[in-house]
């Protein structure tokens, strides 16, 4: 199935889903899901993160074939708080819903997991604001 290997993260051995960025010809050590998550949590946890880094980080993260874990999103939302960027915080929630695509069970789960953070930081969900309806 050679066409599958064109896409990042797809390996010829498809019994186990491989993490991101592994190609058949690469000898690089494959990063585990936990390492990937930790890396991103650290990225957004930078105390003096700037607006550009936040946007760049989010755009890069959204480009991956995954829906970010709750802990990464929590870190990103806290970065928005440090930057006084409520708009980006809500946008992150919209992006997560969009990334889920047809899998409608992901977004409610993540909102459930992020509920303490949303309450603590005073972030409304797009649904609260009626932004999910056109």
- Residues forming contacts to another protein in the complex (CB under 8 A) are 1, 3-4, 7, 9-10, 14, 17-19, 33, 65-69, 101, 103, 105-106, 108-109, 112
CB of 62 to another protein, least distance (A): 12
Q: Count how many Cα atoms sit within 13 Å of the Cα of residue 19 in the half-sphere of its side chain.
A: 11
CB of 42 to another protein, least distance (A): 19
84 burial type by CB count under 10 A (0-12 exposed, 13-18 middle, 19+ buried): exposed
59 SS3 class = helix
**Nearest CB to another protein, comparing residues 15 and 84:** 15
CB of 80 to another protein, least distance (A): 21
**Nearest CB to another protein, comparing residues 17 and 39:** 17
Name every residue whose Cβ is closer than 8 Å to that of residue 35 and which is 6 or more positions away in sequence: none
């Amino acid at each position: 199935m050679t066409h599958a290997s064109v896409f990042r993260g797809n390996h010829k051995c498809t019994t186990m889903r491989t993490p991101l960025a592994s190609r058949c010809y690469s000898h690089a050590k494959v990063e585990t899901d936990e390492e990937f998550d930790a890396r991103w949590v650290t990225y957004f946890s930078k105390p003096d993160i700037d607006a550009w880094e936040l946007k760049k980080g989010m755009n890069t993260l959204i480009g991956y074939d995954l829906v970010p874990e709750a802990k990464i999103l929590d870190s990103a939302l806290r970065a928005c708080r440090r930057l006084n960027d409520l708009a980006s915080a809500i946008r992150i929630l919209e992006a997560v819903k969009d990334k889920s695509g047809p899998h409608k069970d992901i977004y409610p789960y993540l909102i459930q997991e992020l509920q303490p953070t949303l309450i603590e930081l005073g972030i409304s969900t797009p649904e609260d604001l009626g932004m999910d309806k056109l």
